[in-house]
């Protein structure tokens, strides 16, 4: 008999950090909750990061995930944007580690491939497949859909339990 595992997926960002919690019961996946954390854009960087940490910790406390999956930083042409995103991602990783969660990290391409079947999928395709795989989630924003996709990727790439490896 399989045990249900709750996985928190996080798509870090300074303006919008998407989060989604799914349940994995054997091969079946189910939606639990999702949302977007939006720190005040007029606040200074330290306050924005603190707000992100506090609100993410509240999500962890409310939904008690067993583990987490986080999307890796996409390195783009603007080094400043990449650096700022890296700070948000660092805050997310520190918050999850402080909550004693095991954290898996996935490249955006791997997440898209896991959910859509191609690493070149766009946000619309990802959201479409998230709605198909987790119909109880209903309509989700792009940031929450990305976070749920990260959680799905985490579920698909979990290590097999030891007893299955021996069989």
CA angle, corner 61, sides to 71 and 54, nearest 5? 65
Q: How far apart are CA 87 and CA 17, in angstroms?
A: 12
Which residues touch 127 (CB under 8 Å, ≥6 apart)?
140, 142, 145
Q: Is 71 an annotated catalytic residue? A: yes
Q: Is 11 an annotated catalytic residue? A: yes
> By the 8 A CB rule, do 21 and 63 touch?
yes
> By the 8 A CB rule, do 18 and 158 touch?
no
The residue from 71, 105, 122, 146 that is catalytic is 71
Which H or E run includes 30?
A: strand 28-37
The residue from 44, 67, 105, 143 that is catalytic is 143
The residue from 2, 11, 44, 47 that is catalytic is 11
Q: Is 44 an annotated catalytic residue? A: no
Strand partners of residue 70: 10, 105
- Where do the H-state alpha helices sit in the chain? 45-63, 79-98, 108-115, 123-133, 142-156, 162-166
Question: Which residues are annotated as catalytic?
Answer: 11, 71, 143
């Amino acid at each position: 008999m399989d045990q249900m595992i709750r996985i928190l997926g996080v798509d870090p960002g300074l303006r919008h950090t998407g989060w989604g919690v799914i349940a994995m019961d054997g091969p079946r996946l189910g939606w639990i909750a999702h949302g977007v954390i939006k720190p005040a854009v007029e606040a200074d960087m330290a306050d924005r990061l603190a707000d992100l940490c506090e609100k993410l910790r509240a999500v962890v406390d409310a939904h008690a995930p067993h583990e987490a999956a986080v999307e890796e930083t996409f390195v783009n042409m603007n080094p400043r944007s990449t650096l700022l995103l890296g700070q948000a991602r660092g805050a997310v990783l520190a918050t999850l580690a402080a909550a004693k969660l095991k954290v898996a990290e996935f490249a955006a391409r791997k997440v898209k491939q896991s959910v859509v079947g191609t690493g070149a999928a766009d946000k619309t395709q990802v959201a479409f497949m998230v709605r198909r795989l987790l119909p109880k989630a209903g309509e989700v924003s792009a940031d929450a859909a990305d976070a749920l996709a990260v959680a799905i990727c985490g579920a698909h790439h979990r290590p097999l339990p030891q007893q299955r490896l021996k069989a």
